[in-house]
Amino acid sequence: MTVPPTKAIALVAKRELNTRLRTRSFLVGTIVILVVLAGYLLLQANLFSNASKAKVGLTGQTIGIAQQLQTAGGQIGKEIRTSVVANPEQGRAEVESGDLDILLSGNAADLQVLVKSDLDPQLRTLFNGISHQQVLNAKLLEGDLDPAQVMREVNSAQVDLTQLEPPDPGRGQRLAIGLITVFLLFFGIQTYGAFVAQGVIEEKSSRVVELLLSTVRPWQLMVGKVLGLGLVGLVQIVVLAVGGLAMASATGALTLSGLATGTVLWGVVWYLLGFFLYATVYAAAGSLVSRQEDAASVITPVTMVFTIGFVVGFNVLAQNPDSGTARVLSLVPLFSPILMPARMAIGSAAGWEVVLSLVLTLVLGSLLTWVGSRIYRNAVLHTGSRLKLTAALRG
């Protein structure tokens, strides 16, 4: 009995969907991750606005306050790393490039502070305090003992702040949303991609696949399995995203609701692209072996490639989402599904980069689907020892 292709795929997908959604692990796992994400969002505003380290360049008379800066920073839990800059022009260039967070110039009574976007309020208070102390010390050395006059001059000493770019109060939230997007997409693609491989191996070891292939074709079985598990992953990601956003908005930790909604929608698109790209590879890899004990030997290479991209990309985005490294990694089709939507959320992705990454991912996904289907078709009925990849490709 031959089942129409569309119906065959739908039946396999429905079977996978019903089986996974009804498991207790799916419900418990979703709740646990939702709680963790909500807590993560609550911490982000302070986490990114109160960075524990600051690279401060000193030029002119400010070179003499290096030790005082480091000591005062330690008292408020901040590591201030100072370096001497030849002149203000060089310091400005280093602030623009990101090599320095802050440039201090001028003198104690007229401390000039240059930053790229915004100055941490704690550091501003620290700089004002140092400026006041420097003026007070100078007055005491001069022997000026008129308290009223001394206090007037001390209080008049305030830092003069210059910002190269307008301050962006929402950057911390956008960065948090972007990093959460990376994690959720990596989690969904990696977890349910591995489930695809495990499901294929389980069906081979139990000989269920032989019964299934009596009514459906190999490519229909593979596509149905990928589609079903992909939808399970999509349901979990959407629940996590919507639930996390609702909790964060209710507690006031998130104010950029429009951006968050757009990120969720784009996240769905990228998840589907990324999942089909990797899931067909996982299905093909799983078809090469017949025992769960051998699963690691075929799944690990795929997992390692994806995990390396996640770890490197996450750290690069956290440190500098505008860097060339972040741009290049997000254009690599194997990593685009998790990194490009994050850069879009942060606001560092140009339109042409988004379009190019979509096209490249679609092209590679189509190629891998074709290759994966061929391997799966030739290997899914093979039993016994692991089938070599070259043999599966030849058929």
Query: Per residue in 235-281, pLDDT tens?
Result: 988 888 888 777 767 766 666 667 778 888 899 999 999 999 999 99
pLDDT of residue 60: 87
Q: What is the CATH number of the domain that holds 60?
A: 3.40.190
User: Does the pLDDT at position 111 exceed 50?
Assistant: yes
Other CB atoms within 10 A of residue 52 CB? 9
Of 144, 163, 182, which residue constitutes the final position of a domain?
163
User: pLDDT for 331-342, tens place per residue?
Assistant: 999 999 999 999
Of 135, 163, 191, which residue constitutes the final position of a domain?
163
Same domain? For 26 and 128 the reply is no
Same domain? For 188 and 330 the reply is yes
User: pLDDT for 163-172, tens place per residue?
Assistant: 887 766 677 7
Domain count, the chain: 2
User: Does the pLDDT at position 373 exceed 70?
Assistant: yes
User: Does the pLDDT at position 140 exceed 80?
Assistant: no
pLDDT of residue 108: 65
Query: Does the reported pTM lie above 0.75?
Result: no
Of 140, 163, 186, which residue constitutes the final position of a domain?
163
Q: Which two tokens stand for residue 337?
A: 């599904």
User: pLDDT for 222-248, tens place per residue?
Assistant: 889 999 999 999 998 888 888 877 776
In terms of pLDDT, which residue wins out, 190 or 204? 190
Same domain? For 266 and 231 the reply is yes
Same domain? For 199 and 313 the reply is yes
Which has the minimum average pLDDT: 15-29, 185-199, 309-323, 359-373? 15-29
User: pLDDT for 374-392, tens place per residue?
Assistant: 998 888 888 778 888 888 8
Question: Which of the four pLDDT bands, split at 50, 70 and 90, describes residue 49?
Answer: very low
Q: What is the average pLDDT value for the chain, to the nearest integer?
A: 84
Domain that holds residue 352: 5-46+170-394
Same domain? For 190 and 307 the reply is yes
